[in-house]
Structure 1
Amino acid sequence: MLPNGVSLGRMQGPLAALASISPHFTGAVRVNGPSGTGFLLVQGGNPYAAAFEDTARDLLLSGDKAYSHLLDQSSLNYELIAYTAEETEAARETVREMGCQVSKDGAKLAVRNGTRGVDGLEQVARQPGVIAVSVFHEGFALQSLGTADFEQVAAIAEDLLRAGTRITADMAMGDLSQMILETPAGKLIIAPYGDLSLCILAKPDANLGLIRLSIRGIQDRPA
């Protein structure tokens, strides 16, 4: 019933991370399993319709309730479908008939992982010596800037971050802010980033002080 649009790819992770991946996205987010299927329609980053069928509980949600349910999920399998202006208008007409619009109050629900936006990643990527930077969640790279294959290391990087967190807790060192792996070929910095995690690849001669300061700057940014 909705326009086909153009697929931008399939992803896995929290729906709230969409605001970081594409803060001005216009189109459909098609959710598929394992707990159910549904969609979220967005224009310029603002949600305007949602529906979800929870197959496990035999429950059909629409509008604000569907949007809230999707945001509450820690991880979803979803596909991003880009819409043109004409396709967006056709989608809006369809959801008016379906009665699954998201209200203005519903659209103001907190988007936990997306509030920091992509500008923080760009701030880190601009530091001298930085080759690439990625934000990841549950072992999956959500967005990357620069040239590096973070898909191969995201899961291991997250495991290292968790191990470092346990070590600092056991040694009463306080909260972990960053981890640094260094070889003659380069440096890899892993750091918590709200509900997400950061991974930065840098050249051997990169100024770690500047990079660490830029990371702290976006970590401390209010959500």
Structure 2
Amino acid sequence: MTLPAGKYSGIVKNPFQGEAFSKLGTFRGLLELRSPAEKGFILSEYGRVAGAYARDSDEFYRGDEALNYFRHHGRELSGENQSSESEYILRSYSEQEFQEALEFCTEHDLITTSESTSEPAAAVSHDDAGLRSILKQPGVIAVMAFFEGFAVKSFGNADFEQVAAIAEDFLRAGKRISTDLNMGGLTQILLESQNRKCIIAPYGDLNICLVTTAEANLGMLRLALNRIQTELK
């Protein structure tokens, strides 16, 4: 028996940095560690760790030992080694796939006894009202709160996995450009074409991305964005 492949859902650099794990409160599946020197995975269900496995050049770790290993690994990434090549591939599971993965972890003694690393309920309900109010604005096709290229909450009609990954790339590039040009902190990115507009902006400890029609009123959208951003402060 092997772990289900699942569906690719993005990349997280360090799920154990700050409150990062809580942003995965709507995620059920596998976080697969990719690193030149280390391998492993975390089985997560809406913010709760169900199983874990880790291996480095010296030994391997199962269950709670693996989870502790990942936490230590996360602290290292948050420190001097922020340029590390390590990353976690997100693979979302259906209910059946999750049960198969849980059976795999049970069979190989990978089940964790530790409870969640966060409070998933807060992540599930976080920002719904604000996002829905944006979706009601004239011309808005889709709105999404995202973190590290992963769609945390989304409403409307779009390929949110693709949008989240691209929005993350734009956000990082925008932050780098604003820093290089001494423009101060990034407040908003606007991408405009003949058919669509896309707005990316900070949103509390997450980020927000809007996809609109070409006719959408940017002034009204900025006012609506500013209102929900202020509500989070």
Q: Which residue of 2 aligns with 1:66?
A: 69
Q: Which residue of 2 aligns with 1:13?
A: 12
Structure 1 contact 194–219 (Cα < 8 Å) conserved:
yes
- Alpha-carbon displacement from aligned partner over 1:105-138 (angstroms, at most 9, x marks no partner): xx23589xx6885736555444321233455667
Structure 1 contact 10–79 (Cα < 8 Å) conserved:
yes
Query: Residue 103 of structure 2: SS of its match in structure 1?
Result: helix
Q: 1:191 to 1:39 in 2, by over 3 A?
A: same
Query: Residue 137 of structure 2: SS of its match in structure 1?
Result: coil
Q: Displacement of 1:40 after TM fit?
A: 0.8
Unaligned regions of 5+ residues in structure 2, if any? Answer: none
Q: 1:211 to 1:102 in 2, by over 3 A?
A: farther
Matched, 1:142 2:153: no
- TM-score of the two chains, using structure 1 as the length reference: 0.64
Q: Displacement of 1:41 after TM fit?
A: 1.6
Which is further off, 148-157 or 36-45?
148-157
Q: Displacement of 1:7 after TM fit?
A: 1.2
CA distance, structure 2, for counterparts of residue 30 and residue 24 of structure 1: 17
Query: Among 78, 87, 98, which residue is 1:76 paired with?
Result: 87
Q: Which residue of 1 aligns with 2:221?
A: 211
- Alpha-carbon displacement from aligned partner over 1:183-215 (angstroms, at most 9, x marks no partner): 665433231245654443322332334432443
- TM-score of the two chains, using structure 2 as the length reference: 0.62
Query: Among 160, 172, 176, which residue is 2:174 paired with?
Result: 160
Q: Displacement of 1:101 after TM fit?
A: 1.4
Aligned length: 206
Structure 1 contact 68–109 (Cα < 8 Å) conserved:
no
Q: 1:157 to 1:192 in 2, by over 3 A?
A: same
Q: What is the one-letter code of the residue matched to 2:114?
A: S
Report the aligned-residue RMSD: 4.1
CA distance, structure 1, for counterparts of residue 56 and residue 119 of structure 2: 22
Quick one: percent identity of the two aligned structures?
26
1:73-222 → structure 2 map (5 Å cutoff): 73=77, 76-80=87-91, 82=93, 83-84=95-96, 86-87=99-100, 89-91=102-104, 93-94=106-107, 97-98=109-110, 101-104=112-115, 107-109=116-118, 119=128, 121=131, 123-133=133-143, 141-143=149-151, 146-147=157-158, 150=163, 154-165=168-179, 166-169=181-184, 175-182=185-192, 185-194=195-204, 197-220=207-230
Q: Which residue of 1 aligns with 2:52?
A: 50
Unaligned regions of 5+ residues in structure 1, if any? Answer: 170-174
